[in-house]
């Protein structure tokens, strides 16, 4: 499940002429600059480069119409330990294609990244680390048979199957035979891509089996595939709710502007051309 998630939204007025959009971006940039200059914390890319204000995901979404997916931002608070937030940011358009809003969702991936680093560098038994992580994890061989399932993943598999199976009863079974509803889905396509091309894949998809949104990180090896995943349904619902509210507000704003335009047109006419009350 998502922990420490944060959702930010920016709304504009309908429609957004270029000068108004530029002013809105400038105002948001000033607010981010004030936060940055307050000394509360500094922000960086994972490779150590400073994250400039004009490159914040939400700024890029409302300025360039850019979709930002799974971008990590390292935060260095003045009086606390550093943490990493993963960001998803999107522009929102109305039915006529006008950019009317932007939304960004951040969630804390510090523990996940620390776990991945520990798996790479620790001399501790990998299974001991995998049992402590907060994300669900399982591994399959090249024939798609389960070879490992951590404690976090087991309840989700049990719920999806509707059976209280033990890990021992699941290990050795074919994942696609156990979950035929995922065959021909995004999960099937992406995981086969990772296995076939021996490359890491990361993706978000709606599960036709559980009706939940899942973020998946799959890493191939000579033995098969390792998968770490988490439920992101709450984040997706928050994004959809904000987008729906924003579209509704844009519609109301449009109707208001049209009514104002008609009123100005009527009041600008000579009195003899106005309709009688």
So where are the chain's domains? Answer: 6-108, 112-231
Average pLDDT over residues 200-210: 92
Tokens found for residue 129? 């680390």
The reported pLDDT for the residue numbered 258 is 63
* CA pseudo-torsion sign 82, 199, 56, 16: negative
Does residue 210 sit in helix, strand or coil? coil
CB atoms within 10 A of CB 210: 16
The dihedrals phi and psi of 6, each to the nearest 5 degrees, come to -140, 135
What distance lies between CA 248 and its chain's CA centroid?
22
- pLDDT tens digits for range 49-64: 888 877 888 888 888 8
pTM of the model: 0.52
Q: Which residues pair with 145 in a beta bridge?
A: 174
The reported pLDDT for the residue numbered 125 is 57
Measured between alpha carbons, how far is residue 157 from residues 4, 152, 219, 236 in Å? 25, 10, 20, 21
User: How far, in Å, CA of 64 to CA of 169, rounded?
Assistant: 51
H or E element, residue 118: helix 110-121
Asked if the domains at 6-108 and 112-231 fall in one CATH topology, the answer is yes
- pLDDT tens digits for range 208-218: 999 999 999 89
Q: Which of 208, 206, 201 is nearest to 240 (CA)?
A: 206
The reported pLDDT for the residue numbered 272 is 47
Fold category of 112-231 in CATH: Beta-Lactamase (3.30.450)
Average pLDDT over residues 216-240: 87
Place 105 in a pLDDT band, splitting at 50, 70 and 90. confident
Instruction: Taking each helix axis as running N to C, give the angle between helix 57-64 and helix 18-37, from 0 to 180 degrees, rounded to the nearest 10.
Output: 170
Contact 40, 78 (CB under 8 A): yes
User: Which CATH number fits the domain 6-108, given the four candidates 3.40.50, 3.20.20, 3.30.160, 3.30.450?
Assistant: 3.30.450
């Amino acid at each position: 499940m998502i922990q420490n998630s944060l959702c930010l939204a920016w709304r504009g007025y309908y429609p957004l002429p270029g000068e108004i959009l530029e002013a809105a971006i400038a105002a948001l940039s000033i607010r981010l600059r004030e936060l940055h200059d307050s000394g509360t914390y500094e922000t960086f890319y994972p490779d150590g480069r400073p994250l400039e204000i004009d490159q914040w995901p939400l700024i890029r979404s409302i300025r360039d119409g850019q979709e930002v997916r799974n971008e990590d931002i390292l935060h260095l608070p003045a009086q606390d330990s550093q943490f990493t937030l993963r960001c998803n940011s999107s522009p929102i358009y109305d039915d006529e294609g006008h950019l009317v809003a932007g939304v960004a969702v951040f969630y804390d991936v510090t523990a996940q990244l620390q776990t991945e680093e520990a798996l790479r560098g620790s001399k501790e038994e990998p299974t001991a680390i995998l049992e402590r992580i907060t994300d669900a994890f399982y591994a399959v061989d090249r024939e798609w048979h389960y070879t490992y399932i951590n404690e976090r993943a087991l309840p989700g598999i049990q719920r999806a199957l509707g059976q209280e199976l033990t890990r021992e009863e699941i290990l050795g079974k074919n994942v696609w035979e156990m979950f035929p509803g995922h065959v021909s889905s995004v999960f099937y396509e992406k995981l086969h891509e990772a296995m076939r091309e021996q490359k890491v894949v990361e993706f978000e998809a709606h599960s036709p089996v559980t009706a939940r949104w899942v973020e998946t990180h799959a890493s191939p090896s000579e033995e098969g595939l390792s998968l770490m995943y988490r439920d992101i349904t709450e984040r997706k619902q928050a994004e959809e709710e904000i987008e729906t509210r924003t579209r509704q507000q844009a519609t109301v704003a449009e109707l208001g502007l049209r009514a104002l335009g008609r009123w100005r047109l009527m009041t600008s006419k000579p009195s003899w051309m106005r309709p009688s009350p």
